[in-house]
Structure 1
Amino acid sequence: MKKQHIRYILIGIGLLLILFVGYHLYLQYRTDIHLLLDPQASRKEWMTEIRSHGVTAAIILVVLISLMCAVPGIPTSVIGVLVGLSYGPLLGTAINVSGNALGNILSIALMQHVSFMDHSKKENRWVKAIRRMKHPKIGVMIGYMVPVIPSSVVNFAATSLNLSIRELVLSILIGVVPSSLLYACGGEALFHGKHIKAILLVASVLVLTVLVIIIYRDRRKHAVK
């Protein structure tokens, strides 16, 4: 079977799993949604309900984030904010980090053990930038920190660097912490009705992204010269 077909089959399976897990997440949050849409329900009642979720919902969220992270092109930011909204900044960050780390590890494991790697990514500018760094594993960490860089691209770069399992896991864990923390704090800000603070937290992610792009382009211009 052609590599392209294997990739499509795996992505299709991933999307079906996302829908399946997403439905179970909806069942967990069904009451919360009804309270949010009910004009007669009080905010206090909704706040109590949204913070009443336990281990089952947390596990479903970790699995969902993992699957969304492993399938190329699916952002996890909305779920990350929902996690912060439900569990607060500390536990929310732990759930986000767990989901994102497991998703990236799963994606890399598939790339290493299943013949479906898209070798056209070798020419991707981010892959080249990471591989040309003096300390590429730091480049991998930075890649996971910047939302504009697709995780699939960073995973490809990490796979091509032949890092040890310890280096790989450490790079992923450190790399996914900043965005996981920001999304969890954004959810916490929304929980307390601090919409401006939530917007500022999201904006800080965008500013970081822009700065990385500017630095990358500046270094590229100097390299050409």
Structure 2
Amino acid sequence: MDAACNPGVPFGVVGGIIGAKYGTIWGSVMNVSASTIGSAVAYILFRYLFHAWGKSFLAKSAQLHRLNRTIGRHLFRSILLARIIPVIPAALINLYAGVFAIPF
């Protein structure tokens, strides 16, 4: 998998290495495929392993509950914005989406 499952591994470095090794077209196909599969696997793991923990965590934190409600109201924009911001790791977005049961 890629940086979607491995926090701390810069996706740009991984993508650059794959692009240099396999070329622009195949490197791009491999990067997009690996990123999509890695994100889906991470989401599914977090969804089924930590969903109960996430619900109890939401019940304890009023601020997180409000944030989760706001993200739920503007779901597409929130996920898109989080994916565009380069300092937010993809693994963190996958963790949040899975634990707090954001629809796949």
TM range (shorter): 0.5 to 0.7
Q: Which has the higher helix share?
A: 1
2:94 counterpart residue number? 155
Q: How high is the sequence identity, in percent, across the aligned residues?
A: 23
The partner residue of 2:70 within 129, 132, 137 is: 132
- Any residues of structure 2 matched to 1:84-123 within 5 Å, and which? 84-115=19-50, 119=54
**Count of residue pairs brought into register by the alignment:** 95
Q: 1:79 aligns to what SS in structure 2?
A: helix
> 1:69 touches 1:75 (CA, 8 Å); kept in 2?
no
> 2:5 touches 2:42 (CA, 8 Å); kept in 1?
yes
The separation in 2 between residues aligned to 1:144 and 1:107, in whole angstroms, is: 15
1:44 counterpart residue number? none
Shift of 1:110: 0.9
> 1:111 touches 1:117 (CA, 8 Å); kept in 2?
no
| Cα RMSD (Å) | 3.0
Task: Say which one has the larger Rg.
Answer: 1
1:81 counterpart residue number? 16
Shift of 1:117: 7.7
Distance change (3 Å), C-alpha of 1:96 and 1:131: farther
> 2:39 touches 2:94 (CA, 8 Å); kept in 1?
yes
TM-score by length of 2: 0.66
TM-score by length of 1: 0.35
Q: Which has the higher contact order (CA 8 A, sep 6+)?
A: 2
The separation in 2 between residues aligned to 1:87 and 1:94, in whole angstroms, is: 10
The separation in 1 between residues aligned to 2:84 and 2:93, in whole angstroms, is: 10
Amino acid at match of 2:18: V
Shift of 1:136: 0.7
Unaligned runs of 5+ in 1: 1-62, 169-225
The separation in 2 between residues aligned to 1:105 and 1:72, in whole angstroms, is: 15
Deviations 1:14-51 (CA, angstroms, capped at 9, x unpaired): xxxxxxxxxxxxxxxxxxxxxxxxxxxxxxxxxxxxxx
Q: 2:87 aligns to what SS in structure 1?
A: coil
